[in-house]
A and B are shown apart, each in its own frame.
Chain A
């Protein structure tokens, strides 16, 4: 898994396995979380998001779980495919207490390698 601000870890899985990518976010006041996928040489793409008033959200083959007690976010990918190989980033966004701009903060990402 990864922690916002630490070095890039790597997760290797076999095609067809389920993958779990972890993220430990830093700010207990964060209200909104997003997972992005970045393929080599490209910009990040949105995968799924979750608000702080939710514990779980499901998309197509992906599920995001949020544990606010321990400030932990995870991305589960079902039946992982070679096309899922990429770097995955979590981003947290904080609502400013006195107004102002919402600034997403990114972790360093986890590299997912899917072996055929």
Chain B
């Protein structure tokens, strides 16, 4: 089945720890995105990548880092510098170009203990 997957579904982190969220797609999409969603809020862009080995900061990149070593994979690391990391994290991918919708993964819920 083609699609976009995220793991784990739930993640617990102690304060001061870095954690990495996985995002994989087999849709052959060029672009990949990470969003953060807080309760009752919309989606805020953390990082995005249009091609392998290249990525750009979104609106709320502070305290996060990413890599894009493979087309299929776009992992997000939540570092200890992120002061309020508890949130629902969504990964998305799409073909490049204007008239293409994003496909979203099922999300990872991160809780800081």
The size class of the interface chain B forms with chain A is 20 to 34
> A51 in the interface, Cβ–Cβ < 8 Å?
yes
Bound-state Cα–Cα, A42 to B92, Å: 13
A7–B102 contact, CB under 8 A?
no
Given A95-B98, A101-B48, residue A44 in contact with residue B104 (CB < 8 A):
yes
Bound-state Cα–Cα, A42 to B104, Å: 9
A101–B90 contact, CB under 8 A?
no
Bound-state Cα–Cα, A93 to B97, Å: 10
Bound-state Cα–Cα, A41 to B58, Å: 23
Given A42-B107, A44-B90, A101-B48, residue A89 in contact with residue B42 (CB < 8 A):
yes
A29 → chain B closest CB, angstroms = 12
> B105 in the interface, Cβ–Cβ < 8 Å?
yes
Bound-state Cα–Cα, A104 to B102, Å: 9
A8–B40 contact, CB under 8 A?
yes
Given A95-B98, A102-B97, 17 new contacts (CB under 8 A):
A7-B40, A31-B98, A34-B102, A36-B104, A42-B106, A43-B90, A43-B92, A43-B104, A43-B106, A44-B90, A46-B101, A46-B102, A46-B103, A93-B98, A101-B31, A101-B50, A102-B98
Q: Using a CB–CB distance below 8 Å, which chain B residues touch chain A?
A: 6, 31, 35, 40-43, 45, 48, 50, 56, 58, 90, 92, 96-99, 101-107, 109
